Amino acid sequence: MRFSRQIITVEEALHRLLERLGAQGVEEVHIGEAYGRILAEDVHATEDLPHFDRSPLDGFAVRAVDTVAATPEQPVRLRVVETIAAGNVPQVALTAGCASRIMTGAMLPPGADAVIMFEQTENPAALSDEVGIKRALRPGENVARRGEEIRRGAVIAQAGEKINAGTLAVLATFGCTRVSVVRKPRVGLLSTGMELLDMEQPLSPGKIRNSNTLMLSALIAEAGGIPLLFPSLTDELSCAKKRLTEHLQQVDLLVTSGGVSVGDFDVMAALTDEPEAELLFNRIAMRPGSPTTSLLLYGKPIIALSGNPGACFLGHELFVRPAVEKLSGVRELQQRRVMAKLAVSYTKPCPHPRYLRGRLGEEGGVLYAWPDFNEKAGNLGTIKDSECFIVIPAGGSGKQAGELVEVLTHAAPSWRR
Amino acid sequence: MRFSRQIITVEEALHRLLERLGAQGVEEVHIGEAYGRILAEDVHATEDLPHFDRSPLDGFAVRAVDTVAATPEQPVRLRVVETIAAGNVPQVALTAGCASRIMTGAMLPPGADAVIMFEQTENPAALSDEVGIKRALRPGENVARRGEEIRRGAVIAQAGEKINAGTLAVLATFGCTRVSVVRKPRVGLLSTGMELLDMEQPLSPGKIRNSNTLMLSALIAEAGGIPLLFPSLTDELSCAKKRLTEHLQQVDLLVTSGGVSVGDFDVMAALTDEPEAELLFNRIAMRPGSPTTSLLLYGKPIIALSGNPGACFLGHELFVRPAVEKLSGVRELQQRRVMAKLAVSYTKPCPHPRYLRGRLGEEGGVLYAWPDFNEKAGNLGTIKDSECFIVIPAGGSGKQAGELVEVLTHAAPSWRR
């Protein structure tokens, strides 16, 4: 299988991988540590929101019926019977000819059915016992009715949603201080290759420092996984298989970089020929990273990325990120594919779809995609600037500036030109 | 100043605030804790990348001159003198008629100036002592030249950049295990309002649970600050001033929510009249959140947001996030403003620009903005779904579907329709 590889599309490869992954179990966390986690269950409103009729502004609570004759020239005079601060319970029910001074967020007094803002009254000073109402109000005007935002029992957040600052706000409002979330997947991580030095080590001829492990560790944490770093793998197959098998006991997914190609020492490629391995794919119609491989070892998933930093990054975004999200219980797995106009021509021929790193810009409401133009896929100096992958279709003609191309976004666009 | 407020634009308000803020000092951290931090200094390449001529593929290193006559029908036969694994130092210099078997990432042997992939050779098996080269190679073909990606001394990352996974990769490659970053700003956080309950407390009439503090805490951490939570503020002015003054000693910026309007108990509004306060702004031409206020107290900055959750969220994104970024040393402060076509008409008149929460979509390469249509700005149930603010200009006509509108993005678009 290692040398005679069956080529499949990116989409088919992703499908084969994801269908073998299920969501982790559930755990309960305090709301204070829930940011970024994936909800395991729908959350329902425990009360109406607001849970009482309240004033959305500073002014006077009135009975609309008392204001029908009011005009700026001939204000209706009402007797001020109470001042209601937010948080207080009104003590006086409004009767004909009366108003209560009321603050933003405060509870409406019984009998009141409208609120007029200070600016539309005469003599709104705090200690006055009378106020002039300068316009007629409709019943219900400027009243936030009980339950008008959210009804008790309504779903306020759904299983599979990622908890962000806004989710925390709505959970806090309903007092949901304990939250059921999907357990974070543990993702083992290691590199292969005898050329790798630790990043602390001085360079020596022929050797390079390992940059993929740290990069992948950050990306996996971003995707919602817990990265567990293991030492680099030897190129001796039986020893490597033993090590991987041990690591797999501790993780939900194992990600490796390097050793997937046809080189003499490509241990991850060799592994796919072993009887304990179930190959999912080892050749993908894409550049870079066509030998990106996935297999199950004793039923546990391994994604073996290319060692080339650019291909490793692409492989993570195409396969590892969705895998981590699936394991994390994310409801809407999405690759964030959009169409954009190619900002400059790219005509290099390629037998397979080419994934160019780039940026997204906008002009006059139209999306533009700017390739990075790092001809060397391994160019790791510009990975940090990448916001998306621009897909150049297979074939000899590439794409001209202004043509629509498919774009996979992987970061918030900076919208730089 | 509290009642006779001078109205200014969002842009002018932001300018007044940011010009009073400088970046924090510098600290050195290990690369393992550098993710998300802002670089304090440019980082330079300590070596060439790659630091030796290397092979980008698995194949044979050759002298191009030996291959000029090679064709698929009449391969040139070369003697294989060595196998060079990645990480090894070649032991044999190539001479006429010789080739070295070479792996991806391995160092080129002296004398070699091109590499041919296995697939273009005859008899590439590992133990063979001869190989057939089936095509002519140009000098330099398939060779990653020393320094071709990054030259020693080149800037690999700039002061003011946020460190992401790609930055970590390039820093690790050059062995930059200690990184100078800008100290994270400490951002004090408190709410005002006697109506607020802690989120653990049961509801009681007229009271609501505090949701802004937890939301702001998450948003400030996202923006790069360290949120420090203080207890809610009393509405008694002299006591509040004393408390705020004490808190300001411990933080670089203080953010409050609530108490900015014209209500009788609006303590943050009252504070702007105190002699120790230097008012930056307290009325902004925007909806919601027009009373959003900023001041310096004894020279230290306070941003006082509206207590309304929707206005509080908008105020954070418009003012607090850029302020935290400026304090954090972010180089390119940007509001991420783009133009997009309004997906559905919005015709509600407004005397000031209205910031509608919404989402960004794409169709045929054109950006579309979908308003949330929560008419109630305080609607906190949909803050979690917001990706952008759609700016509806002041005036009575609003905007029709299909018209271009300004959009401020604040999250990675989901591109949902």
Q: What is the pLDDT of residues A246-300, one digit of tens each?
A: 999 999 999 999 999 888 888 999 999 999 999 999 999 999 999 999 999 999 9
What pLDDT does residue B235 have? 80
CATH topology of domain A10-24+184-327: Molybdenum Cofactor Biosythetic Enzyme; Chain A (3.40.980)
Which ranges in chain B are annotated with CATH 3.40.980.10?
10-24+184-327
pLDDT higher than 60, residue A406? yes
Which ranges in chain A are annotated with CATH 2.170.190.11?
59-133
Ranges assigned E (strand) in B57-119: 59-62, 76-84, 98-102, 114-117
Residue A72 half-sphere exposure toward CB, CA atoms < 13 A = 2
- The reply to whether residue A195 touches residue B35, judged by beta carbons under 8 angstroms, is no
Nearest to B173 among A307, A366, A380 (CB): A380
- The reply to whether residue B58 touches residue A261, judged by beta carbons under 8 angstroms, is yes
pLDDT tens-digit map of B179-201: 999 999 999 999 998 999 999 99
Let me know: does B8 contact B285? Beta carbons within 8 Å.
yes
What pLDDT does residue A335 have? 63
**Residue A276 to residue A296: CA distance in whole angstroms:** 8
Q: Which residues contact B373 (CB under 8 A, 6 or more apart)?
A: none
**Residue B49 to residue B145: CA distance in whole angstroms:** 9
Residue B348 half-sphere exposure toward CB, CA atoms < 13 A = 15
What pLDDT does residue B377 have? 54
pLDDT tens-digit map of A208-218: 999 999 999 99
Taking contacts as CB-CB distances below 8 angstroms, the residues of chain B near A359 are: none
What pLDDT does residue A94 have? 98
- The reply to whether residue A51 touches residue B173, judged by beta carbons under 8 angstroms, is no
- The reply to whether residue B195 touches residue A105, judged by beta carbons under 8 angstroms, is yes
Let me know: does B232 contact B201? Beta carbons within 8 Å.
no
**Residue A228 to residue A125: CA distance in whole angstroms:** 65
pLDDT tens-digit map of A29-45: 999 999 999 999 999 99
Taking contacts as CB-CB distances below 8 angstroms, the residues of chain A near B89 are: 205-206
* Regions of chain B with pLDDT less than 70: 1-2, 334-335, 374-378
Which ranges in chain A are annotated with CATH 2.40.340.10?
337-409
What pLDDT does residue A411 have? 92
Chain-centroid distance of CA B49 in Å reads 27
| Residue A385 DSSP class | G
**Residue A133 to residue A97: CA distance in whole angstroms:** 11
- The reply to whether residue B265 touches residue A103, judged by beta carbons under 8 angstroms, is yes
Q: How far is B266 from chain A (nearest CA, A)?
A: 9
CATH topology of domain B59-133: Molybdopterin biosynthesis moeA protein; domain 3 (2.170.190)
- The reply to whether residue A85 touches residue B214, judged by beta carbons under 8 angstroms, is no
pLDDT higher than 90, residue A173? yes
pTM value?
0.96
- Domain A27-49+148-182 architecture: Alpha-Beta Complex (3.90)
Instruction: State the complex-level ipTM.
Output: 0.95
Return mean pLDDT, chain A: 94
Q: How far is A182 from chain B (nearest CA, A)?
A: 19
Taking contacts as CB-CB distances below 8 angstroms, the residues of chain B near A126 are: 264
What pLDDT does residue A375 have? 60
| Residue A396 DSSP class | S
pLDDT higher than 60, residue A109? yes
**Residue B263 to residue A118: CA distance in whole angstroms:** 9
pLDDT higher than 80, residue A195? yes
- The reply to whether residue B105 touches residue A193, judged by beta carbons under 8 angstroms, is yes
B289: closest chain A residue by CA: A57
Check whether the bond before B288 is cis (ω within 30° of 0). Answer: yes
Average pLDDT over residues A329-342: 88
Query: Beta strand A43-44 with A155-157: parallel, antiparallel or unpaired?
Result: antiparallel
Give the model's confidence band at A333: pLDDT under 50 very low, under 70 low, under 90 confident, else very high.
confident
Taking contacts as CB-CB distances below 8 angstroms, the residues of chain A near B309 are: 169
DSSP one-letter string for A117-143: EGGGEES--TT-SEEEE-S---TTTT-
Q: How far is A388 from chain B (nearest CA, A)?
A: 12
Nearest to A193 among B86, B161, B174 (CB): B86
Q: How far is A196 from chain B (nearest CA, A)?
A: 7
Taking contacts as CB-CB distances below 8 angstroms, the residues of chain B near A212 are: 169
Indicate the SS3 state at residue B302: strand
Q: What number of other Cβ atoms are within 10 A of residue A127's Cβ? A: 8
Nearest to B362 among A58, A209, A338 (CB): A338
Q: Which residues contact B189 (CB under 8 A, 6 or more apart)?
A: B213, B216, B217, B220, B227, B228, B229, B230, B254, B255, B256
Q: Does domain B28-48+150-182 have CATH number 3.90.105.10?
A: yes
φ, ψ dihedrals at B115, nearest 5°? -135, 135
- Domain B337-409 architecture: Beta Barrel (2.40)
Taking contacts as CB-CB distances below 8 angstroms, the residues of chain B near A173 are: 199, 208-209, 211, 380
How many A×B Cβ pairs under 8 Å?
325
B57: closest chain A residue by CA: A263
In 3D, which of A192, A193, A211 has the Cα closest to residue A201?
A: A211
- The reply to whether residue A307 touches residue B104, judged by beta carbons under 8 angstroms, is yes
pLDDT tens-digit map of A137-156: 999 999 999 999 999 999 99
- C-alpha radius of gyration, chain B, whole number: 31
Taking contacts as CB-CB distances below 8 angstroms, the residues of chain A near B210 are: 172
